[in-house]
Amino acid sequence: MRVASWTVIPQRTVRILQLAVSANSSNERKVLTVENTIAQLKNTTPVVRYILKRLIPKARKAMKNWKETRSLGLKAYHMIKQAYWQLAECMVKEGYLPERDLIFFLTHQEIGCVLHRTNPKLVTRAARRRKVYPNLFELRFDDISIGKPKPLKDPGPVPLSLEMKGLPMCKRKVSGRARVARTLEEADSIKVGDVLVVRSPDIAWVPYYAIISGLVTEIGGLLSHGAMIAQEYDIPCVVNVKEATTKFESGDYIMIDGHTGIVRKLQTDF
């Protein structure tokens, strides 16, 4: 909710579109007919081809409906986000908050208390939360914790020869310069052909899929958002690579193997 939408700050999206157009100006994406799709399949029996001929149109229609539903959901999400920003603006004008951004560090109940002026210390508390947020954002925890979760320790120096394993999402290999991005602000430095290494991309990262050559995520599975969008863009992707954003650094030359799920740091750097 706190991250501004592209309609509010369109410069970022415009830059990505410019890079995507310049990188793919000569490429055309072919749309296969049902017959062409079936013809590309190997070792299929007449019965299988008969079934696929009737199932593929239904699957494509279902995908179209799913995308339209997702689009409507994103529009609703955007409206809710803008409502929060408008509420914050009104609270600043009327003296309830010193800055709009502080509203995202208050719970709904606390926002109500601020509006009714029942607890004047909440604004100070929100400011403290915002101050420590960058440090908390960097903490890492085990996927499963018993009792009070404890942050993981610093993994230490990274060896020159590094190989990690995750879940492969595409049967292809790709090598390129790693671009480690933990926030959208860091993503602004992504260039055409980079292999993006992130913790867990959400919908805000989608515009960057048009310019990257591969994707590595620390969190995710077969149905995770990053994996599904990468498959839509036909980008080699390996997910669930633990501590990838701490082991790899921007500028490393890495190879990701969509067959085995291996992510390897190569000796040559850019």
Give the chain's domains with CATH numbers.
10-25+32-138 (no CATH), 162-265 (3.50.30.10)
The 3-state DSSP class for residue 83 equals helix
Task: Supply the pLDDT for residue 102.
Answer: 95
Task: Supply the pLDDT for residue 25.
Answer: 47
Task: Supply the pLDDT for residue 163.
Answer: 86
Q: Which residues of the chain have pLDDT under 50?
A: 25-27, 269-270
Task: Supply the pLDDT for residue 223.
Answer: 82
Task: Supply the pLDDT for residue 116.
Answer: 93
Question: 259 an active-site residue?
Answer: no
Crossing angle (nearest 10°) for helices 108-115 and 46-93: 20
Length of the chain: 270
Residue from 78, 108, 225, 259 carrying the catalytic annotation? 225
Task: Supply the pLDDT for residue 157.
Answer: 57
Cβ-contact 239, 221 below 8 angstroms: yes
* Spatial distance between the Cα atoms of 204 and 181, rounded to a whole number of angstroms: 13
pLDDT, tens digit, 9 for 90 and up, residues 171-227: 788 999 999 998 877 887 888 889 999 988 877 788 888 889 999 999 888 888 888
